[in-house]
Structure 1
Amino acid sequence: MNITPLDITQKQFRKTFRGLDAEEVEAFLALVAAEFEGLVKENLALREDNQRKADEIADHRGRERALQETLVTAQRASEEIRDSARKEAEITISDAELQAEKIVQGAHSRFLRIVDDINELKRQRVQFEANVRTLVESHLKLIEAFREPAREEAVQLIPGRRRAADE
């Protein structure tokens, strides 16, 4: 049974010969009704406050859930970005290694060509020296060949010298 302040103020008591003082009972009932009305208003205010706080809590829980979802999404995005950056770095490193390998192969090929060129130049030098040596030797032989008959002719032309040359 719910009693309202209005029920308290409108409550009628039976009258008896030796009953209670009606004015005192009515004053007390008015005081109880006023207190009860205050408690009902306070209860109503507390219920409204409680409902408002429950709504706020629900709102905060919704925000918390949204923040958690955002955090999870951000973590996933961060992991994806990190994975993507790692893959890109691996590709870049792989490309750089391939480029370096090509450069090394090119340098090695050039080195082999230079070594071949140097060996060819050494061979040509040896051949040139041999050709020059052969040419010089043939010229020396020619000079000696021309000198010997010229000496003999010169010795024959000088009569006193002939004996010395013969001896």
Structure 2
Amino acid sequence: MKITPLDIRQKRFETALRGFSRREVEAYLELIAGEFEEVVKENIALKEEVKRTQFKVEQHQERERTLQETMVTAQRISEDLKDAAKKEAEIIIADAEHQAEKIVHGAHQRLVQVVEDINELKRQRTQFESQVRSVLDAHQKLLETFKSPTFADRDYARVEDNVAYLSQKKANGDS
């Protein structure tokens, strides 16, 4: 059973022959009732404060849960972004390696082609030198042929000698 300040104020004691002073008991009961009333009011106020505090605590706990969930979500997103970035980097690297292989292969093919071209030019140069040498040798032989007296040159020289002899004889004989 709960006792209220009103219960204390309304409480009546039986009177006995040599009992307590009625005024003193009533005054004391009134004092206790007043104190008890303040304690009850304070208790009610404290209960309300506890409710408000409990409500705030619950709000803070809810915010904390939300923040924790947000942090977990952010952490997951961060991990997902890292994974995605890592995968994208791997793809970029693989693509770059593929491109590099294509470039190296193309450069190798070009090098092979350049070497083949150089070899062809060397072969053509050798062939050209051989042809030029052949032409020079032919011209050299032709020049040597013109330098040496030929049958016609010898006959012409004899004809000149005969013309000169006859011219001289004619000049001597006519004179």
Cα distance in 1 for residues equivalent to 2:15 and 2:136:
169
Cα distance in 2 for residues equivalent to 1:123 and 1:40:
121
The answer for unaligned runs of 5 or more in structure 2 is 162-175
Cα distance in 1 for residues equivalent to 2:129 and 2:17:
164
Cα distance in 2 for residues equivalent to 1:93 and 1:61:
47
Structure 2 match to 1:102:
102
Structure 2 match to 1:84:
84
Cα distance in 2 for residues equivalent to 1:63 and 1:119:
81
2-11 or 60-69, which deviates more: 60-69
Q: Equivalences for 1:15-164 in 2 at 5 Å?
A: 15-150=15-150, 153=154, 157=158
Query: Looking at CA atoms only, which structure, 1 or 2, has the larger radius of gyration?
Result: 2
Letter in 1 for 2:42: E
Q: Could you state the TM-score of these two structures normalised by the residue count of structure 1? A: 0.86
Cα distance in 1 for residues equivalent to 2:41 and 2:131:
131
For these two proteins, the number of residue pairs brought into alignment is 159
10-19 or 145-154, which deviates more: 145-154
Over the matched positions of the two proteins, sequence identity in percent amounts to 55
Question: Alpha-carbon deviations, 1:102-134, whole Å to 9, x = none?
Answer: 111111111111111111111111111110111
Cα distance in 1 for residues equivalent to 2:42 and 2:51:
14
Letter in 1 for 2:65: R
Cα distance in 2 for residues equivalent to 1:142 and 1:18:
179
Letter in 1 for 2:62: G
Q: Quote the offset at 1:148 in angstroms.
A: 2.0
Question: Alpha-carbon deviations, 1:40-78, whole Å to 9, x = none?
Answer: 111111212222222222222221111111111111100
Q: Quote the offset at 1:150 in angstroms.
A: 4.2
Q: Quote the offset at 1:26 in angstroms.
A: 1.0
Cα distance in 1 for residues equivalent to 2:145 and 2:104:
60
Structure 1 match to 2:172:
none
The answer for unaligned runs of 5 or more in structure 1 is 160-167
Where 1:149 maps in the other structure, the secondary structure is coil
Could you say what the CA RMSD is over the residues aligned between the two structures, in angstroms? Answer: 2.0
Q: Could you state the TM-score of these two structures normalised by the residue count of structure 2? A: 0.82
